[in-house]
Structure formats: structure tokens, C-alpha cells
């Protein structure tokens, strides 16, 4: 067990996994706990949050599960209130939720545009709205928002809502960082590239692999300069760095975790 999150309360939004294995939020929650953090694990599905908590407790860590739809203002207000009641403070806010819809602007119904924006973007606003006053009262806090390289470049899949919502997280994070810098609160964004996590399996197998998960993974691996996708631990390690005092003079920036993908020409 490490010490970088010792005595700190980490509120992880999207701490479960959408399928078997390790998603970004699940890995981040586990890593915060391994570094001594007390982790309040939030997920839409109670069983997903509870699975993460069981892993953390099984490793000797401390965690609490909470089910919530973070696109709903009342549920976000309630979860933040409970986290404060359980642990007394919030030192780290880790926003990880996000969904995919692989349709372009013509094919996409208006209500589905709204749904993705509510989950991928409004949820970040809502959690910050309720956590920032707690951090301000403490005089310290760190926010880690998970964006994507899809927020800065086209990745070959026509998911207009994903590009837009993930792109918006970047100035959103920067705005919070600069407004709250004098108050001891830092905010940074992580931009994962092509990652091999449970989230990609069902939404993307038809776009890459003609319905074959193995072909999809092979095609995505080939796109990466390093010859393979990253994994959830690559994102979790970046999050731990930004949330910890190792990054105490870093705020308002974007950390790209993509194996060089966004640096290449084609």
C-alpha cells in the first residue's frame, strides 16, 4: 500500500465497470485506495459500485458504495451530501462517467443528443457544483475530469455527441481551475486515447471489426503508434498523479494518455 492518498477522501463518479474487467473509473478507485485513500464509489448500477468496494476492502482499503444517476441534480446533491456525512470531507473529485452513441447529427434523435450531454457533460457540472463549496471550505482539493482525445481530433467513428461532450470538458475544467486556483483547488483533465476497456466492446465492435470483438481490438491496436491500445491502469496512474501532491503546481491543463496517437499525422 502506498501513501500518496493517505487520509484523503476520494469521490469517484463512475467507479464501476460496464462489463467484466477493469474500466477507467474502477481502476482509479482501486488505485486511490491502494495509496491510502478512503474512496466513495458512485455508479449508476449498485452492483457495479459494490463490486469495486469489495475489491478495495479485500485489499485492506476503505470504501463505500453509492448508486446514483449523476445526470439528475437531486441525486448528485444527495450523493455529495452522503459522502460528506460518511467521511467528513472531499479531497479528490474524479469524474469518469461517459457513454457512446455512434450516430452522426442527421441520424441522431434530439432526445439521444440530450441524453449523452446530460451524462457526459452535465454530470461534471453537477458534481463540481456541489463539491466545490466543500473544497473551498477546506482550502484544498483536486478535481480530475476524464475527457478523451476524441475531444481534440476525429477518431474515425461518427459519434458527434462524444466528440462534443468530451471536447467541452476541456474548457470546463480550465475555467474551474482558474477560478478556484486562489482557493487551493486544482482541476485538470485527462485525455485517454484508444483504450482497451469494457466500455468499447459492444458500442464499437460493429464499426471496427464487422461484429467481431477480436477484429475490433486488432484494428484499434494497429492505429496506435505503440502497436497496442492502453488500458485502465494507464488512465488510473495519470489520475493518481494529478490528484496527488506530486502535481501540486499543476492545474488547468490536459494530460494526454494515448501512446502517441494524437501526435501522429494519420
Closest CA to 206 of 164, 167, 153, 159: 159
Q: How many residues does the chain have?
A: 266
**Strands in the chain per DSSP E:** 9-13, 38-43, 62-67, 92-95, 141-146, 185-192, 254-257
| Residue in this structure with the C-alpha cell 484508444, named with its chain if needed | 194
Roughly what angle, to the nearest 10 degrees, separates helices 110-117 and 160-180? 30
- Determine whether 32 is an active site residue: no
CB 216 within 8 A of CB 209: yes
Q: List the catalytic residue out of 162, 163, 180, 208.
A: 162
Q: How many CA atoms lie within 13 A of 187 on its CB side?
A: 27
Please give the Cα distance from 247 to 249 (Å, whole number): 6
**How far apart, in whole angstroms, are the C-alpha atoms of residue 229 and residue 241?**
21
Q: How far apart are the first and last CA of the chain?
A: 41
Cell numbers linked to 40? 466513495
Pairs from 104-112 (Cβ < 8 Å, separation ≥ 24): 104/158, 104/159, 104/160, 105/160, 108/160, 108/161, 112/161
Give the active site residues. 162
Amino acid at each position: 500500500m502506498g501513501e500518496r492518498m493517505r487520509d484523503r477522501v476520494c469521490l469517484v463518479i463512475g467507479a464501476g465497470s460496464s462489463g467484466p474487467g477493469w474500466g477507467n473509473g474502477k481502476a482509479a478507485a482501486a488505485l486511490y485506495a491502494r495509496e491510502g485513500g478512503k474512496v466513495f464509489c458512485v455508479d449508476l448500477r449498485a452492483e457495479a459500485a459494490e463490486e469495486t468496494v469489495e475489491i478495495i476492502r479485500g485489499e485492506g482499503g476503505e470504501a463505500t458504495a453509492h448508486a446514483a444517476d449523476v445526470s439528475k441534480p437531486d441525486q448528485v446533491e444527495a450523493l455529495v451530501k452522503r459522502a460528506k456525512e460518511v467521511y467528513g470531507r472531499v479531497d479528490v473529485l474524479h469524474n469518469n462517467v461517459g457513454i457512446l452513441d455512434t450516430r452522426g447529427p442527421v441520424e441522431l434523435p434530439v432526445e439521444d443528443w440530450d441524453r449523452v450531454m446530460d451524462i457526459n457533460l452535465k454530470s461534471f457540472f453537477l458534481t463540481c457544483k456541489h463539491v466545490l463549496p466543500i473544497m473551498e471550505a477546506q482550502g484544498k482539493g483536486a478535481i480530475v475530469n476524464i475527457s478523451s482525445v476524441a475531444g481534440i481530433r476525429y477518431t474515425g467513428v461518427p459519434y458527434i455527441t462524444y466528440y462534443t461532450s468530451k471536447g467541452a470538458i476541456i474548457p470546463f475544467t480550465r475555467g474551474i481551475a482558474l477560478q478556484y486556483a486562489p482557493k487551493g483547488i486544482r482541476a485538470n483533465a485527462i485525455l485517454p486515447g484508444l483504450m482497451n476497456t469494457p466500455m468499447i466492446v459492444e458500442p464499437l465492435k460493429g464499426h471496427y471489426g464487422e461484429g467481431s470483438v477480436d477484429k475490433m481490438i486488432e484494428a484499434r491496436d494497429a492505429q496506435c503508434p505503440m502497436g497496442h491500445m492502453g488500458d485502465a491502469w494507464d488512465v488510473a496512474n495519470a489520475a493518481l498523479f494529478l490528484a496527488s501532491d506530486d502535481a501540486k503546481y499543476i492545474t488547468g491543463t490536459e494530460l494526454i494518455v494515448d501512446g502517441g496517437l494524437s501526435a501522429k499525422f494519420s
